[in-house]
Amino acid sequence: MEIIITPDYEAMSKMSAVVIAREVKRKHDLVLGLATGDTPIGTYRELAKLHKEEGLDFSKVTIFNLDEYLGLAPLNKNSYNYFMWENLFKHVNVSQHKIFVPQGNTDDPEEFSEWYEKQILNVGGIDLQVLGIGGDGHIGFNEPGSSFASRTRVKGLYEQTIKDNARFFDKEEDVPRFAITMGVGTIMDAKKILLIASGEGKADVCKEFIEGPVTSQITATALQLHSYAIVVLDEKAASKLERKEYYNWVRDNKHVVEKRIGR
Ligand code: F6R
């Protein structure tokens, strides 16, 4: 994993938007996997800015979102579909028929999940998957114990996730107990992965998933087994990493190697 430590949330947002924009420019019909939550709001703001000010073109990009609460209709203000429209889709020129967000109010979540996996396959798989990380180490809603081979399916939310996400709802009891989420296996099939994290509250879990042993109890540790994963953190989220100086040294010196191999 390439670990990039940035000074603060703003810098993390800018850096992650640059990584995404680089891929969109490299491949105009990029298949982009996206996440919701507090962490990527700044990244999406930066992408909207790049679209407005520099003409970053999303017209051929296909988007697959990671997850959605089970039972919430797409227009529900707490749905991830609504979040994505508010924070990104309505600010860029992404084409509506190229947007895929799991349908929370589907009658048949199992059939829907299979259909979702097929749609990903039909477009040749995800080129770049953007992730946040939950306090319990989840990616998507792959809670502790999720198999690394799991595919899109319904998952019961872990107590800590319900507590963490209660801030978006009037009361904790309103947080849905289930979600449709891409599996760890679905995420690991992406050609490239970008995980972003910020704030002190993520420091322990970032240390565990970057420097700890690989375990399905912290599903983000699966990224240690991916061939192309970039992690962009702010200083606070990186504060408990033991090998911080090494990651910074690599970041500052990798151009030497990249030049030699002619990238
Ligand atoms: C959201 C998602 C989750 C979040 C994670 C962090 O689509 O898949 O894994 O990325 O819960 O959420 P925040 O950014 O709100 O701390």
Instruction: Supply the pLDDT for residue 258.
Output: 75
pLDDT tens, position by position, 170-194: 999 999 999 999 999 999 999 999 9
**Atom of ligand 1 at shortest distance to CA of 181?**
8
**Other CB atoms closer than 10 Å to residue 28's CB: what's the count?**
11
pLDDT tens, position by position, 128-173: 999 999 999 999 999 999 999 999 999 999 999 999 999 999 999 9
Catalytic-role residue among 46, 51, 127, 138 = 138
pTM of the model: 0.96
Least confident residue range of 38-52, 80-94, 162-176: 162-176
Distance 244 CA to ligand 1 centre (A): 24
Of the chain, the percentage scoring pLDDT greater than 70 comes to 98
Which tokens belong to 181?
């989420």
Instruction: Supply the pLDDT for residue 23.
Output: 98
Instruction: Supply the pLDDT for residue 189.
Output: 98
Judged against a pLDDT cut of 90, whether residue 256 lies above it is answered with: no
Those residues whose C-beta lies under 8 Å from the C-beta of residue 58, and which sit 6 or more positions away, are 24, 51, 92, 93, 94, 95
Distance 132 CA to ligand 1 centre (A): 5
pLDDT bucket at 260, cuts 50 / 70 / 90: low
Instruction: Supply the pLDDT for residue 12.
Output: 98
pLDDT tens, position by position, 111-131: 999 999 999 999 999 999 999
Is 164 tagged catalytic?
Answer: no
Judged against a pLDDT cut of 60, whether residue 234 lies above it is answered with: yes
pLDDT tens, position by position, 9-18: 999 999 999 9
Instruction: Supply the pLDDT for residue 262.
Output: 55
Atom 11 of ligand 1: nearest residue by CA position: 134
**Atom of ligand 1 at shortest distance to CA of 132?**
10
Which tokens belong to 31?
């298949």
Distance 133 CA to ligand 1 centre (A): 6
Among residues 244, 263, 257, which one has the least CA distance to residue 4?
244
Number of H helices, E strands in the chain: 8, 10
Rounded Cα distance between 75 and 42, Å, is 22
Rounded Cα distance between 181 and 151, Å, is 8
Instruction: Supply the pLDDT for residue 126.
Output: 98
